[in-house]
Chains A and B, each alone.
Chain A
């Protein structure tokens, strides 16, 4: 966590451009008329999100985004699309549903009103960072208690191990649910 202040001091260029990229790809994914184009732009969205997570020093999240989004989601969506028929579209974008857009804008405005009270990104005064009982305790005690250097993995597998067991069972149950939905008895 060395050198956090200089990064905070000049977040502007890289952070702003990444955010513009992510918002643009998200909008195009939502509005694209052709489903294949939406899937492709969604892949591009994951590229931007992985870079953003990396910049915010969350490499585990970035690695998950990279592996799941680039490797798995795109492929599974394409396989599903291969089972459907194609409709030729005249226009590139969907027509915006004004009531839905209004509701989404209202929600966005409500969330944006709370942004003034959120601490700055990377601030050392943020409660999530400065809290001595949670974040700082894990950062200082993890290696002594588990012998593992990666705090994220230690929290996932040891301190919150029962939650992770639940998540693993959920993944397993998702596979079984897919079998049931598709009326199959075997995977392969």
Chain B
């Protein structure tokens, strides 16, 4: 019986609340997808994919807490470290279309 299973308000437990919060972040990610698709410039897309990555780290951390599986935080850590790689790869690519690699 961890803190995740304790009732919070109106019969909802803390875990369910965290899951709803994660769902809200996914909805935000869908909104951010508009910027990634529409652009109009590549810088917009780089920024959008960076925000999406940070968003995903939050979602994964919330899932790890809600499912009370601390080892799931490893995935969030991997994303936090590698999302940076994705961001610098795309941003360096947008300059001169990879000419400065």
Contacts and interface: CB of A to CB of B under 8 A. Distances in A.
Verify whether A and B have any Cβ pair under 8 Å.
yes
Interface of B: 5, 13, 15-16, 19-20, 22-23, 26-27, 29-30, 33, 36-39, 42, 45-46, 48-49, 52-53, 55-56, 59-60, 63-64, 67-69, 71-72, 74-75, 78-79, 82-83, 85-86, 89-90, 93-94, 97-99, 101
Contacts, number: 147
A136 B59 CA distance: 30
A17 B45 contact: no
A28 B69 contact: no
A78 to B, nearest CB: 5
A54 B56 CA distance: 11
Given A28-B33, A47-B52, A92-B37, A62 B19 contact: no
Nearest to B26: A17
B5 A3 contact: yes
Top 8 closest pairs, chain A to chain B, by CB: A82-B98, A13-B23, A17-B26, A14-B23, A47-B56, A70-B82, A71-B82, A66-B78
B82 A54 contact: no
A44 B39 contact: no
B29 A21 contact: yes
Contact of B49 (A7, A10, A40, A67): A40
Contact of B33 (A6, A7, A44, A54): A44
Contacts of A50: 56, 60, 75, 79
Given A63-B74, A66-B79, A47 B53 contact: yes
A63 B79 CA distance: 9
Contacts of A28: 33, 37
Q: How large is the interface on A (under 10, 10 to 19, 20 to 34, 35 or more residues)?
A: 35 or more
B75 A66 contact: yes
A36 B97 CA distance: 10
A54 B86 contact: no
A14 B25 CA distance: 9
B98 A79 contact: yes
A63 B75 contact: yes
Given A21-B29, A47-B29, 14 more contacts: A13-B23, A14-B20, A14-B63, A44-B33, A47-B55, A47-B56, A51-B63, A63-B75, A63-B78, A70-B83, A70-B85, A81-B97, A92-B37, A92-B39
Contact of B37 (A6, A20, A41, A48): A41
